[in-house]
Amino acid sequence: MPDARPTTGGRVDVRGLTWRPAGRRTPVLAGLDLRIEPGERVLLAGPSGAGKSTLLRALAGLLLTAEVGDLSGTVHIDGEHPREVPGRVGLLLQDPAAAVVAGRVGRDVAFGLENTRVPRDRMPALVQAALAAARFPYDGARPTQTLSGGEAQRLALAGALALRPRVLLLDEPTSMLDEENAAAVREAVLSVVRRTGATLVVVEHRLDPWLEHVDRCVVLDADGALRADGPPSRVLDPGLAADGIWIPGAGLPAPTSLDPALVAPRQPLARGEPVTLAADVTVHHRQPFARRLPGPAALAAVSAAVEAGRGLALTGPSGAGKSTLLAVLAGLQQISAGRAEVAATLAGRRGRDLARLSSKELARAVSWVPQAPEHGLVRTVVLDELLATATALGRPADEARTRALALLEALGMSHLSGARTHHLSGGEQRRLVVAASLVHGPSAVLLDEPTVGQDRRTWAAVMGVCAATVAAGAGVAVATHDEAAAGCLEDRLALREGRAVVGAG
């Protein structure tokens, strides 16, 4: 913090909190009561879609600022409405890129200070102190565009710390980071909390790394009501594993089995034949207006193939080039050198070159699920979303519908077939776009971080869908930080700084 004076933690008092977003028949949170004492460290768990993120947004006073709906009950931070005391509550989101507001690190951290009208001459010292407290490795002149996910997350932490929050809310702050970056973010958060005494509420699906650092565990059930509350040792009984909670020591769930016929490709290839491949591909990221970003290439002479009937895991630390390679294989990334093409049987009117396939030819061959699931959403209602590509390709409607409904059921979302896509939780949106990528029966499916935000049960369901897709003869590639997910696939390509790591398993 700016000076060494410890801030005290804030008291959180939630009474009868009910929130029904406009256009949804049922509330996300219904009559929730919760009291958190100053300085308490709370782990907030619950199955995917339970309302964990909604609760954090309510504590930060954000409901009704950009979302509309019926809100009742009260939320108080030290007896005050959170929006009356800007900066009292700091919120970190899953995707650190979503929190970046400026081109330079210093400006980015100062954004909150500007909004609370801190005198300009006091800002540099406050910014510097916040960066130090967040253990941010560079100074304020660093361009925000060059940061890795872990660095960007610590930048977001610094932005929150600059306002001396008494309550720190973290919404899956490490789920999109590799283990090294995740540990650095956790360490930064914990050192801040130790020094300032701030109250901490963490939402995370993988509980283990936080457990020894929290004094209390609050578990929500699927309907957004309190399921359990108390010290972790007492709360986390094995019975919760059935509810989807990642109980430490409960082992990995087995992928749910699913009939491969439901995800079978329309054009099956011989097992082992490359559906889409990259040969010696080099990629330079460009800024808008086509200026090359400084630094090394995002990918340097990398080769990879997604083979029919096989699963490929792309692993490596943040910034290694996993997403870029996946986008190359999906025909969505311009390459500077090398070849990227589909199997001869999937060639389009202008040949096998991925860049020269029409969108329909490309859609028949490969589907791609982006890292940010909302970027993959093209319809407002879940069932329409599932049928969108099949409809565009003129697939038989009955068959598409059957496959869509079966996939929804397999992913635990049958009750959501008529829901609005933007009302889904992050984990639900991710499962939806995974399902939507399979309904039209592509020959290969490329998934970017499909297990983020998944509880135990939905994780098993997602991996079950991957396994069935492989068994059905399609190629599957998964870019992931999730070692357990990578372990479910037979092939692996490890990347580091845009290059394939030689000799990796």
Residue ranges binding other proteins (CB under 8 A): 16-18, 20, 22-27, 58, 61, 63-68, 70-76, 81, 380-381, 418-420, 422
**Rounded-to-integer distance, Cα 12 and Cα 209, Å:** 24
**How many residues would you count in the chain?**
505
CB of 368 to other proteins, least distance (A): 23
Angle at CA of residue 45, ends 41 and 51, nearest 5°: 115
CB of 73 to other proteins, least distance (A): 7
Angle at CA of residue 362, ends 427 and 98, nearest 5°: 35
**Rounded-to-integer distance, Cα 367 and Cα 353, Å:** 16
Which C-beta is closer to other proteins: that of 423 or that of 481?
Answer: 423
Query: Which of 273, 316, 12 lies closest to 148, judged by CA?
Result: 316
Report yes or no: 389 and 440 within 8 Å, Cβ to Cβ.
yes
Which C-beta is closer to other proteins: that of 71 or that of 452?
Answer: 71
CB of 65 to other proteins, least distance (A): 6
Give the number of other Cβ atoms within 10 Å of residue 139's Cβ.
Answer: 12
CB of 287 to other proteins, least distance (A): 24
DSSP symbols for 68-120: -EEEEEEEEETTB-GGGSTTSEEEE-S-GGGG--SSBHHHHHHHHHHHTT--G
CB of 13 to other proteins, least distance (A): 11
Which C-beta is closer to other proteins: that of 72 or that of 358?
Answer: 72
Sequence-ordered list of residues with C-beta below 8 angstroms from that of 410, at least 6 positions apart, any chain: 256, 258, 262, 435, 461, 464, 465
Angle at CA of residue 316, ends 314 and 320, nearest 5°: 100
Name the token pair of 277: 């491949």
Which C-beta is closer to other proteins: that of 24 or that of 496?
Answer: 24
CB of 57 to other proteins, least distance (A): 10
**Rounded-to-integer distance, Cα 322 and Cα 448, Å:** 8
Strand, coil or helix: 235 = helix
CB of 12 to other proteins, least distance (A): 13
CB of 221 to other proteins, least distance (A): 20
CB of 28 to other proteins, least distance (A): 13
Which C-beta is closer to other proteins: that of 215 or that of 384?
Answer: 384
Which C-beta is closer to other proteins: that of 377 or that of 489?
Answer: 377
Query: Which of 448, 444, 435, 485 lies closest to 309, judged by CA?
Result: 444
**Rounded-to-integer distance, Cα 175 and Cα 454, Å:** 10
CB of 165 to other proteins, least distance (A): 18
Which C-beta is closer to other proteins: that of 22 or that of 125?
Answer: 22
Report yes or no: 329 and 340 within 8 Å, Cβ to Cβ.
yes
Report yes or no: 207 and 246 within 8 Å, Cβ to Cβ.
yes
Q: What are phi and psi of 30, to 5 degrees?
A: -130, 105
Which C-beta is closer to other proteins: that of 13 or that of 280?
Answer: 13
Strand, coil or helix: 420 = strand
Which C-beta is closer to other proteins: that of 243 or that of 428?
Answer: 428
Which C-beta is closer to other proteins: that of 62 or that of 183?
Answer: 62
**Rounded-to-integer distance, Cα 127 and Cα 162, Å:** 6
CB of 317 to other proteins, least distance (A): 36
Helices (H) and strands (E) in the chain, counts: 14, 18
Report yes or no: 140 and 149 within 8 Å, Cβ to Cβ.
no
Report yes or no: 432 and 459 within 8 Å, Cβ to Cβ.
no
User: CA separation (Å) from 166 to 10, 40, 159, 232, 443?
Assistant: 5, 11, 14, 23, 52
Which C-beta is closer to other proteins: that of 74 or that of 334?
Answer: 74
Which C-beta is closer to other proteins: that of 213 or that of 379?
Answer: 379
CB of 345 to other proteins, least distance (A): 39
